[in-house]
Amino acid sequence: MCIDHKMMCKCGTLTASLNFRDEIMPVEVVNRIFCPQCAADVSFNAENMLRDNDWIIEYDMDVARFMAHKLSGAEITPEYLFDQGYCTWRGVYPTDHIDSVKEREELVKLAKINPRKYLDEIKKWGIDRMERLAQEGWRKAHAGQ
Ligand SMILES: [Zn+2]
C-alpha cells in the first residue's frame, strides 16, 4: 500500500504530490519542497536533499534513519528514499498527477465515441509522454530506460 500526500512548496506557488511506498516512511520525512522558483535561493546539500530537474526535496534524515530499521541494512540516502519509492513523486514528476488528469480529459471524450481508437491513442499518449518527460530530464522518466 502507498499513501499519497500533497505538499506545497516553500514559496507557496506549486503543490507536489508525493508517494510513500509501503508506508515505511511517515510524511514527516519530508522537511520542505522547493519548486524551481524557490529552489533558486537554496544552497543544495546532498546529505539531505534530492534535486530533480529544478525541484528539490529536503528530507529529514533523522526521521528517515529512525524509520529505516524496517529496511534491512540499506544505506539511507536521499537518492535511496526517492529511487526506491519510499518518498518520491506520485507519478514521474511533482505535478504529474494533476497534469495527467487534464491531458487525459480530451482522450476520455474519445472513449465514448470510439473505444478502439481511444485505446490506441491512450497507449500512444503514454509512450509520447514518457519520451517527453525523459527529454525534460525527470529522474523517474530515466529510471525505466
Ligand atoms: Zn516554490
- How far is ligand 1, taken at its centre, from the CA of residue 57, in Å? 11
The cell numbers describing 91, all together, are 507519478
Domain residue ranges in the chain: 2-89, 96-143
Q: If you search the block for the grid coordinates 506545497, which residue do you land on? A: 8
| Over residues 116-124, mean pLDDT | 95
In this prediction the pTM is: 0.88
Is the distance from CB of 94 to CB of 30 less than 8 angstroms? no
- How far is ligand 1, taken at its centre, from the CA of residue 35, in Å? 4
Q: Which of 3, 18, 34 is nearest to 97 (CA)?
A: 18
The cell numbers describing 10, all together, are 516553500
- How far is ligand 1, taken at its centre, from the CA of residue 54, in Å? 10
Per-residue pLDDT for 1 more than 70?
A: no
CA 14, distance to chain mean position in Å, is 13
- How far is ligand 1, taken at its centre, from the CA of residue 15, in Å? 8
- How far is ligand 1, taken at its centre, from the CA of residue 131, in Å? 26
- How far is ligand 1, taken at its centre, from the CA of residue 100, in Å? 21
- How far is ligand 1, taken at its centre, from the CA of residue 63, in Å? 23
pLDDT of residue 3: 67
Q: Give the torsion sign (CA, 122, 126, 131, 136).
A: positive
As a whole number of angstroms, the distance between CA 130 and CA 91 comes to 11
The cell numbers describing 76, all together, are 539511507
As a whole number of angstroms, the distance between CA 109 and CA 114 comes to 9
| Over residues 58-62, mean pLDDT | 97
